[in-house]
Structure 1
Amino acid sequence: MDRVGGAMNVLVWLLLALPLVGAAVVAGMPRLVPERAVVPVGVGVSGATLATAVVLGLAFDRSAAHRVQFETDVSWIGAIDVRWHLGIDGVSLPMVSLTALLTFLCLLSLTRTPPRRARALVGLVLLLEVGMLGTFVALDLVVFFLFFEVVLVPMWFVIAVWGDPDDPGGRRRAATTFILYTVLGSAVMLVGFLVVYAGSGTFDLVELARRGGDGIALGTQVAAAVAIGLGLGVKSPLWPLHTWLPDAHAKAPTIGSVLLAGVLLKMGTYGFIRVWLPVVPDGARVVAPYLAAFATVGILYGALACLAQCGTRPLRPLAGIGPAAPSGDLKRIVAYSSVGHMGFVLLGIATLSPVGVNGAIFAGVAHGLITGLLFFLAGAIKDRHGSGLLAAIGGGLYARMPRLGGLFLFGAVASLGLPGLAGFWGEMLALLGAFQPNAVLTRSTYVVLMVLAGFGAVLTAAYFLVLVRRLCQGSDRAASSTVRDVTAIEVWSWAPLVALTLVLGLYPRAVLALTEPAVHLLVGR
């Protein structure tokens, strides 16, 4: 283990301390931060956190990306050997950078129209950032779990208080469903962590990865793999544990949707890579084919749900239970697309191969950038038209708002996996991993799943093209022709996502060079 000493270790502490102190100051010291300064202070704090992440990235030793760097490892709860163990390697660095960037852009976007109760909202977003960043730098199972849970209550408030203003009951139901699912999933995951501790005597992730499951019986590993997989699968979201997601996205405010899709979902898939694969590898080998099958169903389900949402008839729930959902809700379409895209991430992980897992990490980063952009755009379109329904928005975005329409086209073709953009590489590598999975897995099963997932990619292209045609093309005289196009603040908020989607599409090695050595260490054995 590479223990980088000196001042650089302080940067990981600073990464967490800046948003934590910022949240406390903004929310708890109104005399120090007057109302008019709340959003600018939030932007400044998140900008400083982003700058810290950039410095960490520049100082990171890429020749030793498989090793933990900027490490802190001290005893915290000696009775059960819980350690305050933090650090960054090639798997966690892209997630840390993505989190810091999206949080900064979300708070920057608020400067266009400061929200009601801005003090509370900015404080909650900064607290969310603490939990998200902490999850990606934690190297102890208990510390990982604590940070994993920190995000739940702030996100509940973000959805329930600042969500859809036209449906207060709906936004509270969506927030409650989100927290119930994730709390129950986390409880099951904690049981899995305790099973690991009972079999190994340690919570330390670096030590557990070094052992590679040695000393933990196969039955114990399988039980732990199932429990941990269920808990992480809720957050990922794995079909059929995804049902909290569409409503949460549809009712959340724009920044809530961006952070939920861009970062919170990645906390689940990151947990699969950081915990599930290296800590209980024998259990993962038993469970992996089932994970791959559910992931593939999610790919197809997400695409078919999006195609149905692009239609014009109300959508009836399964078995006719409950009210019909309105068709053509733009945010709900993007939400269902996330179920499909995260299915590719989970399929890559389930191959247990370095190629598939590298593809999963890349697909997660690309999804955060592209879907974050799409939710920004969907929120802007909804704000301008007073509704997120396609029928209310009308067509002809190219004619009425050419810049916004062009950006939406860019986000759509990036999300469907156009070569040359970031969305292509991760899904391609995940499919390649399924074509040649780990030798201990049944290749014929994975080849069938690869074909089905490939068909899901075709359906993804179909629904995005239908959506672009319905939303952007033509001329809808019923729609307002006086709606504003993209503003300056929106350009600054969205431009980094567009640029990084292009850069990673043309130069994927910017991410893969970091992840490949670390993945080989975690999975190669």
Structure 2
Amino acid sequence: MILSALIFILVTGGLLSWMANWWHPGSAKWVALATVGIELVLTIWLWLQSASAMALPAHGGWLAEIRAEWIPRFGVSFHLAMDGISLILVVLTAFLGVVSVACSWTEIRKREGFFYFNLLWTLAGAVGVFLALDLFLFFFFWELMLVPMYFLIAIWGHEKRLYASIKFFIFAEGSGLFMLVAILALVFVHYRSTGVLTFDYFELLNTAMSPSTELWIMLGFFIAFAVKVPILPFHTWLPDAHTEAPTAGSVILAGVLLKTGAYGLLRFVVPLFPEAAAYFAPVAMALGATGVVYGAFLAFAQTDFKRLVAYTSVSHLGFVVLGIFAWNPWSLGGAAMQMIAHGVSTGALFVIAGILQERTHTRDMRRFEGLWSVMPRLAAMGLFFAIAVLGLPGMGNFVGEFLILMGLYRASSVLASVAAVAFVASVVYALALVQKTFHGENTHDWRIPDLSVREMTTLGAMAAVTVWLGLYPQPVLDAAAPAINGLRDIAASQYQTDAE
């Protein structure tokens, strides 16, 4: 029941936030904050309670599970389960949920109740994606998180919000149709070979099919997840969506929704289609390495603060793709760490971008010169998270990227060398961001307030998590390890890298 509660708390909190604003204007944000606060406390409690279960080899990495009939005629069940990877991603979702509500406190002034309804339902859909082990249920949650995100961008976004929201929706729904067709094809192939109609993840593992059929069905899943990661060349929706979304929308997009694509590659693509994934791995890793370098160099060319941060996500999620398809303990542990560290550090940069836009009404870094003398606390936080994103040792991003490169080197030294180029490029764009935004003379005569207590607390908490991940990453790695071992065991007979 605890897994169901993680979803229904957010669903109920969203409805209550919407209704609360009718009864008492201004109360919606308090209801939303209480909801995500309860969610965060509950997920942290689950992490602490599950620490001992993770160490049990016979447990298979699964910490909790619930299964109930839903549409038995078609083999559809309400099947939720949590392992270490799901757990850390749900904790990340809850934490960024608190951050999103906090950074929207003064930014959102119109239709507040409906805003927090959409925000919490987006989080509910993401939690459902991380927990669902029935493929029909997974697709239901996948679609659930997209619709409210569309409204967040279209209603509360910036200048080109309608263009960005429609582009996001077309990419998301179009790729989702590929996944729906692939799910149905997998179910029918399994039914033809066994006579059992089911959407259950465990039942569909090791479904007998021809190599060509497996490859085509795998590509349907891969395209859907590649769009969401996003993998080059499916990334073009991301800069527009990030740039035009409200601050909370950008934080959730970068910190949570992009991770659903990476999670899908890790949970479904390789385990369900190990032979096809092994055959396709060189292509996937080549796309990932290209995205790493491409995103880093395009980030350097940007003058829009949010657009620069958006392109860094293309680069950093390319590392995650490399880690997943290298498929060894080093790279998979690094991919899990990178997903968490990227969500926190990049989310913090979007919070800073939102604060700057709220005060100056611009995102153009060429107009931000001299802000260090005006907003020293914000400038210090900007410097901290810029060096965190570039992968400075002692920060969480460094741990993730270092482990991915170590694992990738075992699979392909050439791709590891190409990906390492991004470290140099990331230093350039991070320093350019700090130089253009905070240094120089205050030629525009900025006279704006520095961080408030609420803003300082939000960014301080994110900084503390980033340092904790960098200096003591073992809890995250220990949480993910049993799940990673379980996934590798599922695909061990077919998916073999050169290092193995």
Structure 1 length as normaliser, TM-score? Answer: 0.89
Q: Which residue number corresponds to residue 231 of structure 2?
A: 238
Provide the rounded CA distance (Å) in 1 between the counterparts of 2:357 and 2:19.
32
Which of 331, 340, 359 in structure 2 is aligned with 1:356? 331
How many residues are paired up? 480
Contact 1:414 1:423 in 2 (8 A): yes
1:448-459 counterparts in 2 under 5 A?
Answer: 448-459=414-425
Shift of 1:265: 0.2
Shift of 1:122: 0.8
Q: Runs ≥4 in structure 1, deviation > 3 angstroms?
A: 28-31
**2:499 counterpart of 1:503:** no
Which of 271, 275, 295 in structure 2 is aligned with 1:278? 271
Q: Which residue number corresponds to residue 252 of structure 2?
A: 259
For residue 13 of structure 2, give the secondary structure of its aligned residue in structure 1: helix
Contact 2:107 2:358 in 1 (8 A): no
Contact 1:233 1:268 in 2 (8 A): yes
Contact 1:199 1:220 in 2 (8 A): no
Q: Which residue number corresponds to residue 201 of structure 2?
A: 205
Change (3 A) 1:498 1:231: same
1:461-476 counterparts in 2 under 5 A?
Answer: 461-476=427-442
Residue type of the alignment partner of 1:414: A
Shift of 1:182: 0.5
Which of 192, 197, 215 in structure 1 is aligned with 2:182? 192
1:478-517 counterparts in 2 under 5 A?
Answer: 478-480=444-446, 482-517=447-482
Contact 1:66 1:519 in 2 (8 A): no
Which of 381, 384, 391 in structure 2 is aligned with 1:417? 391
Contact 1:348 1:430 in 2 (8 A): yes
**Unmatched runs of 5 consecutive residues or more in structure 2:** 192-197, 493-500
Provide the rounded CA distance (Å) in 2 between the counterparts of 1:20 and 1:222.
37
Provide the rounded CA distance (Å) in 1 between the counterparts of 2:436 and 2:124.
40
Contact 2:372 2:438 in 1 (8 A): yes
Contact 1:330 1:388 in 2 (8 A): yes
Contact 1:195 1:220 in 2 (8 A): no
Shift of 1:216: 2.9
1:194-233 Cα distance to aligned partner (Å, 9 max, x none): 222123343222344xx4x352332222112111101110
Residue type of the alignment partner of 2:375: M
Provide the rounded CA distance (Å) in 2 between the counterparts of 1:37 and 1:362.
36
Residue identity (%): 35
Q: Which residue number corresponds to residue 132 of structure 1?
A: 126
Provide the rounded CA distance (Å) in 2 between the counterparts of 1:426 and 1:244.
25
Provide the rounded CA distance (Å) in 1 between the counterparts of 2:13 and 2:458.
21
For residue 404 of structure 2, give the secondary structure of its aligned residue in structure 1: helix
Q: Which residue number corresponds to residue 460 of structure 1?
A: 426
For residue 26 of structure 2, give the secondary structure of its aligned residue in structure 1: helix
Shift of 1:288: 1.1
Q: Which residue number corresponds to residue 413 of structure 2?
A: 447
Residue type of the alignment partner of 1:100: A
Root mean square deviation, CA, Å: 1.5
Change (3 A) 1:30 1:414: closer
For residue 151 of structure 1, give the secondary structure of its aligned residue in structure 2: helix
For residue 109 of structure 2, give the secondary structure of its aligned residue in structure 1: coil
1:295-444 counterparts in 2 under 5 A?
Answer: 295-309=288-302, 328-393=303-368, 395-437=369-411
Contact 2:222 2:269 in 1 (8 A): yes
For residue 235 of structure 2, give the secondary structure of its aligned residue in structure 1: coil
Provide the rounded CA distance (Å) in 1 between the counterparts of 2:109 and 2:288.
37
Contact 1:66 1:90 in 2 (8 A): no
Q: Which residue number corresponds to residue 498 of structure 2?
A: none
**Unmatched runs of 5 consecutive residues or more in structure 1:** 1-9, 310-327, 438-445
Provide the rounded CA distance (Å) in 1 between the counterparts of 2:454 and 2:395.
24
**2:7 counterpart of 1:12:** no
Provide the rounded CA distance (Å) in 2 between the counterparts of 1:492 and 1:118.
22
Residue type of the alignment partner of 1:256: G
**2:215 counterpart of 1:222:** yes
1:46-65 counterparts in 2 under 5 A?
Answer: 46-60=36-50, 61-64=53-56
Which of 135, 140, 145 in structure 1 is aligned with 2:139? 145
| Deviates most, 255-264 or 70-79 | 70-79
Provide the rounded CA distance (Å) in 2 between the counterparts of 1:450 and 1:274.
24
Which of 26, 34, 44 in structure 2 is aligned with 1:36? 26
Change (3 A) 1:205 1:335: same
Structure 2 length as normaliser, TM-score? Answer: 0.93
Provide the rounded CA distance (Å) in 1 between the counterparts of 2:457 and 2:393.
25
